[in-house]
A and B are shown apart, each in its own frame.
Chain A
């Protein structure tokens, strides 16, 4: 594999990892597959689009605001749609998440500045610059994405292992009721989880736009599914697993496309074949522990 493909794989893997974390954190706590997560990711691209073209903000300001607004959306979705169903059967929650996903997509379709047609994501110059590295031509974005993703992931690990709310997130994922018995406000911890997961998806969405600048209401669906697959392959509920799963899938996809370019249309088939393989051989994923039945 040449150096260019390596960076392509690293970039794609970073993007999947950033999205996969939101799936895995929410699943770890609520046992919910948050179908709206891919659309939250999609929305981040539109926030930049609105900020840049509609409000004429500098690109970096639009990007920062996008992360904030997207995180706020994640918070609001949990508050309005999921929290009232905390004690409802899981299936109600799952269907609500699907409904939320469709709602977000259709908000984009009906917005006059967005609509159902494809838009161009604004890319700053420093992202699309091309330079030579060891004889290969590398686009700056393929360096920026892994670097920014690494910073975000290290920040997340710091939050989880060195702060009080992070400790709360890890505790609540193993035993929500025991966490509540410690006097912890579990609603607050869950809100933080959605905020953090959505903010990371927003970073992923913005970087995705820099890499693949087509913007449409449905761009979150396929990356969402792939990232969810990454979360499962890594071991759903496990944050480090989601990171590893993201990189494994991103690399696998690029290797497949690079070695068999004529079959690149089958990339999703490869990804889901990996999913099926894991579900058959190691259903708990790379980092997953065998499920213990609660007695």
Chain B
């Protein structure tokens, strides 16, 4: 569904991505693991058209998307839930969700609103509250719900578990499972390898702009690199 080939990105003189190639098959959950500064967020931002790669190809359902405007990419069905939530603090929960479907005109908006409220019932209770008054966990739920309102076929999640209590992470990942079961493909960026590998089928490990390991979930879980550096075992 999404193919990234040999992506090179520079920030000023810094070679941030040094030839990243990843593949996300339709209907899968793929994860991108790595420490701070490894290039995970940059990879997602490049897919979304927020950063232009110097070299490399990105195709979505066979169509090249490098150079397209972000709004165009979103309308093609790739939606990113950015790191740090980035909800609109002055808008109400309801308005935040409506911002999610800004580019949509189809009649299924109502149904999708019902669906995200069933995924995150707490948002329904707080729909008239300003987004900025929510707790961190609720803000993350709002950010995911807002991304879902954009009707993604491919959902990019950037560090959704960052700064959340374990119980909230579990809740959030349960929602991700449901989102996946509803037919969405997910590319999940995480530092929290344990959480990510609980739902991903395939994973990549990034270090300083390069992929240093990849493989199906079981292979990664048993590999020394991942066990030592990301799962804290051994």
* Interface, chain A (partner B; CB < 8 A): 164, 167-168, 170-171, 174-175, 177-186, 295
Contacts and interface: CB of A to CB of B under 8 A. Distances in A.
B39 interface: no
B90 A174 contact: yes
B70 interface: yes
B134 interface: no
A108 B96 CA distance: 44
B99 A174 contact: no
7 contacts: A164-B98, A167-B99, A171-B99, A178-B82, A182-B100, A182-B103, A183-B79
Interface string B39-77: 000000000101000000000000000000011001100
A182 to B, nearest CB: 5
A175 B86 contact: yes
A30 to B, nearest CB: 17
Contact of B90 (A170, A180, A184): A170
Given A167-B91, A175-B86, A182 B102 contact: yes
B88 interface: yes
The number of chain B residues touching the other chain, given as a range, is: 20 to 34
A177 B75 CA distance: 16
Given A171-B99, A184-B103, A178 B88 contact: yes
B188 interface: no
B99 A179 contact: yes
B80 A181 contact: yes
A164 B146 CA distance: 15
B103 A177 contact: no
B89 A181 contact: no
Contacts of B98: 164, 167
Contact of B102 (A168, A170, A174, A177): A168
B156 to A, nearest CB: 10
Contacts of B100: 182
A186 to B, nearest CB: 8
A186 B90 CA distance: 18
Nearest to B88: A171
A180 B69 CA distance: 9
Contact of A181 (B70, B84, B91, B104): B70
Contacts of A177: 50, 82, 86
Given A164-B98, A168-B99, A182-B146, A174 B71 contact: no
A174 B150 CA distance: 19
Contact of A175 (B79, B88, B102, B103): B88
Interface in B81-136: 82, 84, 86-91, 95, 98-100, 102-104
Contact of A174 (B82, B89, B104): B89
A185 B50 CA distance: 13
B99 A182 contact: yes
A215 B174 CA distance: 67
Given A167-B91, A170-B88, A171-B88, A180 B71 contact: yes
A86 to B, nearest CB: 13
Contacts of A185: 71, 103
Contacts of B88: 170-171, 174-175, 178-179
B90 A182 contact: no
Contacts of A186: 71
A178 B90 CA distance: 13
Given A171-B91, A178-B86, A181-B82, 15 more contacts: A167-B99, A170-B90, A174-B88, A174-B89, A174-B90, A175-B86, A178-B87, A179-B88, A179-B102, A181-B48, A182-B99, A182-B100, A183-B71, A184-B103, A295-B84
Nearest to A295: B84
Nearest to B85: A178
Contacts of A171: 88, 91, 99
The 6 A-B residue pairs with the shortest CB-CB distance, nearest first, are A183-B74, A183-B103, A178-B86, A184-B102, A182-B102, A180-B70
B86 A164 contact: no
A183 B106 CA distance: 14
Contacts of B48: 181
A185 B90 CA distance: 20
Nearest to A167: B95
Nearest to A173: B90
A178 B98 CA distance: 13
A168 B46 CA distance: 24
Nearest to B149: A182
Given A164-B102, A175-B86, A182 B150 contact: yes
